[in-house]
Structure 1
């Protein structure tokens, strides 16, 4: 069995307590599109989010930066078939309903009948079918359509998606990850990775891209009218480049609502100022894996190395106070896919590591160096 050691790094996000945002329901941790919907008292205000990195590229599926925060910003502009509720469970997005066949080989979807692209063109099942076929030809970094066998359009807002073999997680995975593209915009685009004009950012989401300043790393998003999931919470969203110190100062004067990333050493300052600080697992992991060939083809050798690595010491040295040890299995606590069976934790145990290596024929010289038999 391959051994994998995981370190899960929490991400800090600060916001002014008066804003009262429910931050936990977002994809990629932070402000998800569902968080930005349907709060009538704040309807006319603007939301200002700081980003210490600045430019994340044009907020269009193929040309935004290949990281989670850029995907998140783009999700305000482009809807997916399935969204999330406040608890992170699947909820209607562009698809109003979805039904899995008894054999698990197809899904019937009914789209929101009043969904529109930001240029006023209606969203149809043909757009969804086009997107899935287009992404088979031009793979999208945050979602693969390789599991799909085909798609049938059954009406203006109805379609059937076929998959190659029955599997679970398609709704929470592919249907929730793939941004649906407007066919009338993308159909003639031969290389979407070079398509970065303003038309590339025409989506059907609750916000439209009104302005983008690449040099300043600044975006202005404006609420769309009559979105099928409800009225957007804010009239405008500004995403501005600003370092943590300047952002904390601007938050103190009420000029900033959300700091997208707060370095751990700024945490006391933020809490002392009375700001709410949200933390959530980033799911960015560091892993140590083994091939099953050569010197690592013997399971006991891999186990010995796992016992010889002091993961707690590495954690405290490299990521003091901002990370935690993860389990050695692939799925982590909280995942619905995680087995209830206990897995070996491989706690630091150099004596056990030594015994395993000796039992497999490894030897140790006077300087403490190990080598394989005949190596």
Structure 2
């Protein structure tokens, strides 16, 4: 018996981000910060022009701001200074900063925010669920109310903190924003302006927006250049770049030379099971699979020990929303064998059979995710 199974039980690769020791010291201004962009082109950095995967959102976010943002302590003001939930209306009221301007000098107002959320109902932004918005209205020049279609707990995180705000005076006559690659499409309120974008080379060059409402950026010029994964360490040592992500096992000599190391998760690999197909429809069979997977061994072998062992569900174990009280299904081959025998399987050497037919599971792997990816 051969049955398909999508690769999974999340294994988290470790992304190691290296910074030159003299970059961004406290309160110090930097003329130029050059970052290695291992994956190259991320699309035209407008809200509708960037690629919806990889670093496309980051490239766009240097130019466009959201209503709120996050730091290590939670939500922080961005274009909105304060906000509150109105339970009787299932709506959020945002009080906006005064004196903010777009990078073409036009004033930013609540009309821009209301327009953005109405506009995205007809022209959905790929990384935000616009169906959650019922309507958005400007109460006055600096106040906007966003009414939801239903209760939505992650609204602040996944909508207010993710949707780039568009300039009304630029986008109101734009019927096809996906194909709009004009310089005006890059009219934002963010900390940088785009100076040059080379799609072929996958390079980006930004200059600081000196009129940025949160103050002049400490980095005056920001460059992203394409550097291969193999050359990143050498380029850091030569001083050609100031920051890069590198394979975790290569960090020790860089750390000894004074580079700062920042760790974060990279790729999550998920196991998805079709519960409607036999034998996966039997919960005992699914549990047997979970008990049979040595997740720490996957990290040790395929990620050379640099990673976070997979866990039940989508979220990694160090995520703030992770629930440690759920069943963990620790590696237990004996328990897996017990469950399969309950279902009528018998073990013949290293294999299980039922009704004379050997059990085989076929893993279906998405291209590009069947090997460690440290980008």
In the superposition, the TM-score normalised over structure 1's length comes to 0.85
SS of residue matched to 1:208: strand
SS of residue matched to 2:200: coil
Which residue of the partner structure matches residue 289 of structure 1? Answer: 272
- State the Cα deviation string for residues 303-360 of structure 1 (Å, max 9, x = none): 11111222223232322222121331444444443446x2221122222111111212
Distance, in Å, in 2 between the alignment partners of 1:240 and 1:156 is 40
Which residue of the partner structure matches residue 75 of structure 1? Answer: 61
2:164 corresponds, among 154, 159, 179, to: 179
1:270 corresponds, among 234, 254, 257, to: 254
Distance, in Å, in 1 between the alignment partners of 2:76 and 2:202 is 32
Which residue of the partner structure matches residue 372 of structure 2? Answer: none
Which residue of the partner structure matches residue 362 of structure 2? Answer: none
Higher strand share: 2
**Would the alpha carbon gap of residues 56 and 145 (structure 1) be closer, same or farther in structure 2, given more than 3 Å must change?**
same
Unaligned runs of 5+ in 1: 22-38
- Alignment map for 1:128-207 (pairs within 5 Å): 128-207=113-192
Distance, in Å, in 1 between the alignment partners of 2:349 and 2:305 is 37
Distance, in Å, in 1 between the alignment partners of 2:233 and 2:13 is 22
Contact 2:65 2:165 in 1 (8 A): yes
Which residue of the partner structure matches residue 344 of structure 1? Answer: 327
Which residue of the partner structure matches residue 302 of structure 1? Answer: 286
Which residue of the partner structure matches residue 43 of structure 2? Answer: 57
- State the Cα deviation string for residues 157-187 of structure 1 (Å, max 9, x = none): 2111111233323212211111111122222
- State the Cα deviation string for residues 104-160 of structure 1 (Å, max 9, x = none): 711111112212111111122121122112222222222212222211211122111
Q: Report the RMSD for the aligned CA atoms in angstroms.
A: 2.6
How many positions carry a matched residue from both structures?
351
Query: Which stretch of structure 1 is more off in the superposition, 51-60 or 171-180?
Result: 51-60
Contact 2:197 2:204 in 1 (8 A): yes
1:41 corresponds, among 15, 21, 28, to: 28
Distance, in Å, in 1 between the alignment partners of 2:174 and 2:27 is 39
Contact 2:12 2:310 in 1 (8 A): yes
Contact 2:42 2:54 in 1 (8 A): no
Distance, in Å, in 1 between the alignment partners of 2:151 and 2:138 is 21
Which residue of the partner structure matches residue 28 of structure 1? Answer: none
- Residues 1:18 and 2:18 are matched in the alignment: no
Unaligned runs of 5+ in 2: 1-6, 360-375
Distance, in Å, in 1 between the alignment partners of 2:226 and 2:96 is 36
**Would the alpha carbon gap of residues 135 and 307 (structure 1) be closer, same or farther in structure 2, given more than 3 Å must change?**
same
Contact 2:92 2:145 in 1 (8 A): yes
Deviation at 1:301, TM superposition (A): 1.3
- State the Cα deviation string for residues 263-299 of structure 1 (Å, max 9, x = none): 23432342232211111123x3111122221312221
- Alignment map for 1:82-97 (pairs within 5 Å): 82-85=68-71, 87-97=72-82
**Would the alpha carbon gap of residues 136 and 266 (structure 1) be closer, same or farther in structure 2, given more than 3 Å must change?**
same
Which residue of the partner structure matches residue 365 of structure 2? Answer: none
Distance, in Å, in 2 between the alignment partners of 1:60 and 1:210 is 13
2:338 corresponds, among 333, 350, 355, to: 355
Contact 2:67 2:77 in 1 (8 A): yes
Distance, in Å, in 2 between the alignment partners of 1:129 and 1:218 is 33
- Residues 1:8 and 2:15 are matched in the alignment: no
Distance, in Å, in 1 between the alignment partners of 2:175 and 2:32 is 37
